[in-house]
Amino acid sequence: MANRQDYNAQVQMAVSQLCNCGATGRETVPVHEIFQGKTVWQGDVVVFDLSGHPKAKQTFAWSHPDGAQDERERFVAVLEIPPMGSAQKADQVQIINDAKWK
């Protein structure tokens, strides 16, 4: 992974495109998600303030390897719409959604 500044810039660009609005980085939160004693995901979730979004003022965003051989990078943005209220919760919801599609 790129250094934190490059990572945040890549995620910010993805958020602007995914959410179709302006995004300003607020903070980076390390998340380590464990299920049944095993790491499901570990990485940095960037919290962005959104400008011009019709429903949310913030989003939680990150990237992770994707594909059969992890050959792609996938960007994820989860809007802060109740009950979403933290980086940890956003990650948990996305893990559940991804599991449903597999």
Query: For 10-20, what is each residue's pLDDT tens digit?
Result: 999 999 999 99
Output the pLDDT for position 101.
62
Q: Could you tell me the CA-to-CA distances from 59 to 36, 66, 101 in Å, in that order?
A: 28, 21, 22
Output the pLDDT for position 68.
87
Strands (E), 1-102: 22-35, 38-51, 58-66, 72-79
Phi first, then psi: give them for residue 69, nearest 5 degrees: -115, 20
Q: Could you tell me the CA-to-CA distances from 42 to 7, 55, 95, 98 in Å, in that order?
A: 15, 28, 12, 15
Output the pLDDT for position 89.
81
Number of domains the chain contains: 1
Q: Could you tell me the CA-to-CA distances from 1 to 15, 52, 57, 63, 73 in Å, in that order?
A: 18, 30, 28, 10, 10
Q: Which residue, chain included where needed, has tokens 């095993």?
A: 38
**pTM for this model (two decimals):** 0.79
Q: Which of 18, 13, 48, 55 is nearest to 2 (CA)?
A: 13
Compute mean pLDDT per 10 residues along the chain, 102 residues long, and list them. 82 93 93 90 93 93 88 91 77 75 60
Provide the token pair at 88: 């940890």
Domain containing 34: what range?
A: 4-101
